[in-house]
Structure 1
Amino acid sequence: MMLPIHEQFIEKVKEKFIRDRRLVGLLAGGSMITGEMDEYSDLDLVVVYRAAYREEIMNERLNIAGQPGGLLAAFTGEHVGEPRLIICLYGPSPLHVDYKFVSLEELEHRIENPLVLWERGTEISEVLRRTQPLHPDLDPQWIEDRFWIWVHYGATKLGRGELFELVDILNFIRSTVLGPLILAQNGQLPRGVRRLEQHVPAAIAELEETVPMHSSESCYRSLQASIRIYRRLRGHAANLAAHREDAEKASTAFLDQVYASLRKS
C-alpha cells in the first residue's frame, strides 16, 4: 500500500507531466503492482511518450525528471545497460524514484503489466490489452557455461590475496546464480536476491555460508559453500543440456590446490 509520501509525489508528477503534450501517460511497476510497498520502497515509474519526440525526450529526460521539484540528484542508467532509465533522489524527505522513458511502441515489449496512473486518451490501455508481458526465463545452461570459469577466477584472487575482489565475486555469484535459482525453484521471479528473505526464508541459513569475512580461510569456505549450493540447485534445474564436467573438475581442483598452498605458507 502506498504511503502519503508516495501518493503526494505521484500527484505532483501527474500535474507536471500532463502539461507536456509529448507525453501520453504515466505508469507504475515494481512493488506498486504486487502491493508490497512499505516505507523503504522506491517508485518505479514508466513515462510513455510519442515516438516522434524520441530524440527530444532522451535529450531532456533529466530536465523532465526535475519538473516535480525537489530533485536532489539524478543520473542515467547506462551502467545497467538501460539509457532510457533515470535514477533520482528527491527531497527534503528522501525518496528514490526510477523513471523509464518508453514510446508507445516500446511498451508492447515489457516484462510486467504496469498500473496506469494517468493516460492521455486510451492508446496505452489498448496496447496493454492487445499485448502480453514476457519475463525472460532463467537459463540454467547459460549459468553452467560460466559458473566454473567464475570459480577459477575466484581461486586466482584467493591465491593472490585479493580478498576484497573475491568478496565481490562471491556477491556476484549469489545475486546472479544462487539467488535467482532459489527464487525460480520456489515459484518466484528470478530477480537476484530481492526479497529472498521474505519469499524463501528456509534458504537463509545456507546462503549465510556464502558471505565471508575478510580472511583467506573464510573466503575459501564461502566459495566452497557456493559450489555446494550450486551443485544442489543444478540438480533440480530444467533445460540444462550439458554439464561442463571438465571445467568443473579443473576449477575445483585448482581451488583446492591454491588453498593447500596457502596453508603451507
Structure 2
Amino acid sequence: MKYPHSLPQAHKQLLDDIIRVFSADPRVVGIGASGSFASDSMDDYSDLDIVIAVEPTHFDGVMKERFQLIDKVNGRVSGFTGEHVGEPRLIITMFEPNTLHVDFKFVSLPDAAVRVDDTQVLWEKDSCLTDTFATREPHYPQPNAQWIEDRFWTWIHYAGTKIARGEYFETLEFISFLRHVALSPLALQQAGLTPSGVRKIETRLPDFAEKLRKTVALPEKASLISAMTQCIEIYRELRSKESVKKDTDAETAAMAFWDKEFSK
C-alpha cells in the first residue's frame, strides 16, 4: 500500500504498528483507512480512521477481544466504545508518544461495503476487502430539503419558547443543532460538497462561514434573538434554491409567535 503524501511521519509509524498487529491475527481479513487518509488531506492534527474487516464466523469473538487486540499496538493511553455516536462497533482511542487519535471500526467482511466515504485498502488476504468494496459505492448521507422544511418552523417556535422562558444555554445548544443538521448541510450540498455538518466549513465555504458567524450568540436574550433571526434568514435563502413544498401555515404561525414575543 502506498501511503498518501500528506501522511505525517508520526501517523505513519503508528499505522505501521497497527498493520503489523492486525495482519498477524488470522481472523482479520482486511485493514482499511478512510477519512482524510483516503482523501490525502491529512495534517498533524488528523485522526486515523481504521476499518478492521473480520471473517464473519469470527466476528463475535473479535468483538469481545477488541481492547486486547488494540493493546498489542504500542502506546494506547485511552479507549472507549462509540455508542454515543451511534456506532457500538467503534473503539475511539488515543496513543502516545505523539498524542494521536485513532478510531478503530470493527466490521464483518460483508458489512465493510456499507461506508460513507472512500476507504483505502492497507492490507488484505487475497483481494477480499477490495472485492467487497467493489460491490457497493460509498454513500454519504444527504440532507433532505423537504424533511428540513417540514420541521424547520416548529423548530423556530421551539427556540422562541426557550428564549422567552429564559433558557438561554438550551437555546445556544439548539442553534448549534440548526447549524449542524440543517443550515450547513444544505449549503454544502448546494455547493456540490460532502454535507458533513460544520466540519472545516471555514475553509470549504468561507463566504457561508461568514454568514454563520452571525448565528453565534451569547447566553443573553438580545444576542439569541439576533442569532436566531440570522438562522431564519440563512434558511430562507437556502430554501429558495430548493424545490420544496413550503409549510406556509407553520411558517406563518412561528413568525407570528416571534413577532408577538420579541417585537415589544
The TM-score with structure 2 as length reference comes to: 0.93
Letter of the 2:228 counterpart: L
Question: Secondary structure at the residue paired with 1:254?
Answer: helix
Deviating beyond 3 angstroms after TM superposition, the runs of 4 or more aligned structure 1 residues are none
1:246 and 2:249 equivalent? Answer: yes
1:134 paired with 2:134, answer no
SS at match of 1:127: helix
Give the counterpart letter for 1:13 in structure 2: I
Q: Which amino acid aligns with 2:178?
A: I
**RMSD after superposition:** 1.4
1:103 paired with 2:135, answer: no
Q: Say if 2:175 and 2:228, in contact at 8 Å, map to a contact too.
A: yes
Provide the residue aligned with 1:233 in structure 2: 238
Of 219, 226, 235 in structure 1, the residue corresponding to residue 224 of structure 2 is: 219
Q: What code does the residue aligned with 2:96 have?
A: G
- Alpha-carbon distance in 2 for matches of 1:142, 1:234: 12
- In structure 2, the partner of 1:203 is 208
Equivalent position SS for 2:38: helix
User: Is residue 2:256 matched to residue 1:256?
Assistant: no
The aligned counterpart of 1:45 is 50
- Residue 78 of structure 2 is matched in structure 1 by 73
The answer to whether the Cα contact below 8 Å between 1:49 and 1:104 also exists between their aligned partners in 2 is: yes
Could you tell me which amino acid in structure 2 is paired with residue 217 of structure 1? A
Establish whether residue 119 from structure 1 lines up as the match of residue 124 from structure 2: yes
Of 12, 17, 21, 1:16 maps to 21
**Where do 5+ consecutive residues of structure 2 fail to align?**
1-5
Task: Within 5 Å, give how 1:164-175 maps onto structure 2.
Answer: 164-175=169-180
Deviation at 1:108, TM superposition (A): 2.1
SS for the counterpart of 2:143 is coil
Q: How far off its partner does 1:223 sit?
A: 0.5
Q: Which residue of 1 aligns with 2:8?
A: 3
TM-score under structure 1 length normalisation:
0.93
1:139 is displaced (CA, Å) by 0.8
- How far does residue 22 in structure 1 lie from its aligned partner after superposition? 0.9
State the identity as a percent: 39
**Any stretches of 5+ residues in structure 1 without a counterpart?**
none
Please state how far the C-alpha of 1:168 moved relative to its aligned partner. 0.5
Alpha-carbon distance, 1:247 to partner: 1.2
- Displacement of 1:230 in angstroms is 0.3
Counterpart of 2:94?
Answer: 89
